[in-house]
């Protein structure tokens, strides 16, 4: 069956689960490990690995992901980032190389999206109820939005590299760094590294909406990742890609939202207006050298909306796939770089 070698990158959590059931049942010669982390699911599919290794690998994966969570999670008061957010001074704070890497890349993508991807958007995320704070009971006032916006800005955050290690520094005491948008990609890259360290060359690793593959699947074919149609309950595939060792990540506006005063409130915030995005771009999928990069870009593209996202993809030569709402249906767009990964 074809589904044997299809891995589904779902466009909703539901798709992610239901869409991949067959994969798990049918792929008897692949070793499949699964678990939960960062409020989402992780999955590892391995080819040519003895089932005897299952237990140890399961533990190692969970440990690696739990470590990342302890560094990056704004939901955990004792995480490294939460402690940095609580710190009110402007002295450089020592951080791990991991943390320096994720912030450096996030700042770079932030600059290239002219601040649309902004990891300092935390106060706005919290104001709109998508952070550890509760959901608001009414739409925040302009004054509240302005006050939260005044606490954001990439220019207030710096990574300092010294011979003895890396540091983070802020020049705004209330700056609140939210790495949620890049966490899944970052963790996915870590799982890939773990597999390499374990001498495993044929793997598909995935955390939430980010996936990275290397080598071949259990049938000896390239791993294939399916992008699902956003509305299709029958598991229909919108496009199918061979990642050729790259990472892929999808960000969508329909996955995480609530309704308030008749408005649909998305968890992706436009840092310029301080309000949740409202345009017709349903999802942005990016393929990049690392899952972290893909995960950083997809959010920026979502904020930009259809036209600006296309322009950015072309300007930066990104491999991008967009799904756009049109009437009751959807249209899609892909950049030439993305096209190179698409399977017939
Ligand atoms: P998901 O996989 O849950 O869809 P995304 O990768 O799309 O996650 O990131 C969404 C999260 O990123 C939000 O919940 C919020 O914490 C944060 N966020 C929202 N808007 C922005 C933005 N403009 N730039 C950076 N992070 C953002
Ligand atoms: Mg993202």
For 307-321, write each residue's pLDDT tens digit: 999 999 999 999 999
For the residues 178-205, what does the mean pLDDT come to?
96
Whether the predicted pLDDT of 257 surpasses 90:
no
Residue 202, token pair as written in the block: 């044929």
For the residues 225-246, what does the mean pLDDT come to?
80
pLDDT score for 12: 32
| Residue 21 Cα distances to 10, 47, 212, 236, angstroms | 12, 18, 19, 14
pLDDT score for 256: 60
Please identify, by atom number, the ligand 1 atom nearest to the C-alpha of residue 131: 16
pLDDT score for 234: 54
Whether the predicted pLDDT of 93 surpasses 70:
yes
Whether the predicted pLDDT of 29 surpasses 80:
no
pLDDT score for 254: 60
- The contacts of residue 56 (CB under 8 Å, 6+ apart) are none
Whether the predicted pLDDT of 8 surpasses 70:
no
| Residue 98 Cα distances to 80, 81, 158, 186, 344, angstroms | 11, 12, 15, 9, 38
Whether the predicted pLDDT of 6 surpasses 80:
no
Among 25-34, 99-108, 328-337, name the one with the lowest average pLDDT: 25-34
> Is the CB of residue 178 below 6 angstroms from any atom belonging to ligand 1?
yes
> Is the CB of residue 181 below 6 angstroms from any atom belonging to ligand 1?
yes
Residue 52, token pair as written in the block: 């005897």
Looking at 1.10.260.40, 1.10.3980.10, 1.10.490.10, 3.30.1330.90, the CATH number of the domain 80-180 comes to 1.10.3980.10
Asked whether 191 and 33 are in contact (CB, 8 A), the reply is no
- Helix 180-197 to helix 54-72 angle (10° resolution) is 150
> Is the CB of residue 119 below 6 angstroms from any atom belonging to ligand 1?
yes
Q: Give this prediction's pTM.
A: 0.89
The Cα 75–Cα 123 span in angstroms is: 13
For the residues 74-91, what does the mean pLDDT come to?
94
Q: Report the half-sphere exposure of 167 (CA within 13 A, side-chain side).
A: 12
* Residue 237 banded pLDDT, cuts 50, 70, 90: confident
Ligand 1 pocket check: which of 16, 124, 180 to mutate, most ligand atoms within 8 Å of Cβ?
Answer: 180
Residue of minimum CA distance from atom 18 in ligand 1? 268
Query: 289 or 130: which carries more pLDDT confidence?
Result: 289
Residue of minimum CA distance from atom 12 in ligand 1? 181
For ligand 2, a single-atom ion, the residues with CB < 5 A are 181, 251, 295, 298-299
DSSP state of 5: G
Please identify, by atom number, the ligand 1 atom nearest to the C-alpha of residue 251: 7
Rounded to 5 degrees, φ, ψ at 87 are: -65, 130
> Is the CB of residue 256 below 6 angstroms from any atom belonging to ligand 1?
yes
Q: Percent of the chain, pLDDT > 70? A: 88
> Is the CB of residue 130 below 6 angstroms from any atom belonging to ligand 1?
yes
Whether the predicted pLDDT of 98 surpasses 80:
yes
* Residue 225 banded pLDDT, cuts 50, 70, 90: very high
Asked whether 65 and 191 are in contact (CB, 8 A), the reply is yes
- The contacts of residue 231 (CB under 8 Å, 6+ apart) are 330
The Cα 73–Cα 326 span in angstroms is: 36
Closest to 150 (Cα-Cα) out of 175, 114, 186, 182: 175
Q: How far is the CA of 5 from the centre of ligand 2 (A)?
A: 25
For the residues 146-166, what does the mean pLDDT come to?
96
pLDDT score for 134: 74
- Helix 180-197 to helix 97-112 angle (10° resolution) is 130
Whether the predicted pLDDT of 14 surpasses 60:
no
Asked whether 307 and 300 are in contact (CB, 8 A), the reply is no
Give alpha helix (H) positions in the chain: 13-18, 21-26, 54-72, 80-86, 97-112, 122-127, 142-149, 180-197, 291-304, 306-315, 336-339
Q: How far is the CA of 28 from the centre of ligand 2 (A)?
A: 32
* Residue 328 banded pLDDT, cuts 50, 70, 90: confident
Among 183-192, 259-268, 329-338, name the one with the lowest average pLDDT: 259-268
3-state DSSP percent of the chain in helix, strand and coil, to 5: 35, 30, 35
The Cα 275–Cα 265 span in angstroms is: 9
Query: 136 or 45: which carries more pLDDT confidence?
Result: 45
Among 108-112, 128-132, 310-314, 328-332, name the one with the lowest average pLDDT: 128-132
* Residue 228 banded pLDDT, cuts 50, 70, 90: confident
Whether the predicted pLDDT of 38 surpasses 90:
no
Strand runs labelled E in 99-255: 157-162, 165-170, 203-207, 210-214, 224-228, 237-241, 247-252
For the residues 12-24, what does the mean pLDDT come to?
33
Q: How far is the CA of 304 from the centre of ligand 2 (A)?
A: 13
């Amino acid at each position: 069956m074809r589904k044997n070698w299809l891995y589904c990158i779902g466009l909703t959590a539901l798709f992610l689960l239901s869409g991949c059931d067959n994969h798990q049942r049918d792929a008897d010669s692949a070793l499949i490990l699964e678990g939960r982390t960062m409020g989402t699911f992780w999955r590892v599919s391995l080819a040519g690995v003895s089932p005897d290794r299952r237990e140890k690998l399961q533990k190692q994966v969970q440990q690696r992901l739990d470590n990342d969570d302890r560094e990056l999670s704004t939901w955990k008061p004792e995480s490294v980032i939460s402690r940095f957010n609580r710190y009110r001074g402007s002295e450089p704070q020592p951080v791990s190389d991991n943390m320096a890497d994720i912030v450096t890349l996030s700042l770079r993508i932030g600059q290239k999206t002219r601040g649309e991807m902004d990891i300092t958007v935390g106060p706005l995320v919290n104001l709109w109820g998508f952070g550890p704070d509760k959901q608001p009971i009414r739409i925040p006032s302009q004054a509240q939005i302005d006050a939260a916006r005044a606490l954001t800005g990439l220019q207030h955050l710096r990574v300092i590299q010294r011979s003895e290690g890396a540091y983070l520094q802020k020049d705004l005491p209330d700056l609140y760094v939210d790495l949620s948008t890049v966490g899944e990609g970052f963790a996915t890259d870590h799982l890939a590294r773990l597999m390499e360290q374990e001498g495993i060359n044929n793997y598909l690793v995935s955390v939430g909406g980010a996936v990275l593959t290397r080598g071949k699947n259990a049938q000896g074919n390239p791993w294939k990742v399916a992008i699902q149609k956003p509305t299709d309950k029958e598991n229909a595939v919108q496009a199918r890609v061979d990642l050729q060792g790259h990472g892929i990540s999808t960000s969508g506006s329909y996955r995480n939202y609530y309704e308030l005063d008749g408005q649909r409130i998305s968890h992706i915030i436009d840092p310029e207006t301080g309000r949740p995005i409202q345009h017709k771009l349903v999802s942005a999928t990016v393929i990049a050298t690392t899952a972290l990069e893909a995960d950083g870009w997809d959010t920026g593209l979502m904020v930009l909306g259809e036209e600006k996202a296309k322009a950015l993809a072309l300007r930066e030569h990104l491999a991008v796939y967009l799904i756009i709402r049109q009437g009751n249906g959807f249209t899609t767009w892909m950049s030439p770089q993305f096209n190179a990964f698409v399977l017939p």
